[in-house]
């Protein structure tokens, strides 16, 4: 046994280091996640800026015309000027309810969404916040900084650390693109 200490240390110390790294990377994700469903907006494909802007006012959804998107430049005889056009309902952002319990994503009508009691956050009353879809610089075990795609995933943060990722269901093989957090549903 006395002659095996270098071998035991040579294998044991790296194994303990690996367990510590894995613990730091994955233990924060073992806690409870958010308890409230999430209202997401976007996914309008061809019209990312949209003719409307959704905001939370007094705990309810309010949809207003996006004045910047409604201004168009016109040219007439060497003169340029701006004209305001009317908003097009086809360019309105879509609304989705993400169910925390079952990971479902349900499209909502504007009428359904305006009846919900909402908290614009950005942090829920149980201490969670939601990031954006896209790319992440977390790398392997969140240590090495490589860039990876996070399309179709929304990171959930608590105390500045990612504790969960909400995976968005796919539609016809494509992720719902451009979805962004709008509010927590009370």
Contact between 23 and 80 (Cβ < 8 Å):
no
Contact between 43 and 176 (Cβ < 8 Å):
yes
Q: What is the pLDDT of residue 13?
A: 86
What are the extents of the domains in the chain?
Answer: 1-30, 34-185
* 140-181 confidence digits (pLDDT tens): 555 555 445 555 677 888 877 777 777 776 543 344 456 788
Sign of the Cα torsion 186, 59, 64, 131 reads negative
pTM equals: 0.69
Contact between 108 and 97 (Cβ < 8 Å):
yes
Contacts of residue 147, Cβ cutoff 8 Å, sequence gap at least 6: 135, 136, 137, 139
Contact between 17 and 141 (Cβ < 8 Å):
no
* 58-89 confidence digits (pLDDT tens): 999 999 888 888 888 888 888 998 998 898 88
Cβ-based burial of 38 (10 A; exposed 0-12, middle 13-18, buried ≥19)? buried
* 6-60 confidence digits (pLDDT tens): 778 788 888 888 888 877 766 665 666 788 888 988 755 444 557 888 889 999 9
Kindly state the percentage of the chain with pLDDT values over 70: 74
How far is Cα of residue 48 from the mean position of the Cα atoms in its chain?
A: 16
């Amino acid at each position: 046994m006395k002659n095996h200490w270098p071998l035991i240390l040579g294998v044991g110390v790296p194994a303990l280091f690996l367990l510590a790294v894995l613990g730091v990377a994955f233990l924060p994700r073992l806690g409870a996640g958010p308890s409230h469903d999430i209202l997401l907006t976007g996914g309008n494909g061809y019209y990312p800026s949209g003719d409307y802007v959704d905001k939370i006012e007094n705990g309810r959804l309010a949809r207003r015309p996006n004045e910047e998107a409604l201004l168009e430049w016109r040219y007439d005889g060497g003169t340029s000027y701006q004209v305001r056009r009317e908003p097009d309902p086809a360019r309105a952002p879509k609304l989705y309810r993400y169910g925390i319990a079952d990971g479902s994503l349900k499209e909502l009508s504007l009428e359904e969404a305006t009846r919900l009691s909402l908290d614009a956050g950005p942090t829920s009353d149980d201490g969670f916040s939601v990031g954006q879809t896209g790319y992440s610089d977390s790398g392997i075990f969140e240590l090495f900084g490589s860039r990876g795609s996070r399309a179709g995933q929304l990171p959930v943060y608590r105390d500045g650390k990612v504790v969960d990722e909400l995976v968005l269901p796919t539609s016809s093989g494509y992720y719902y693109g451009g979805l962004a957090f709008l509010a927590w549903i009370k």
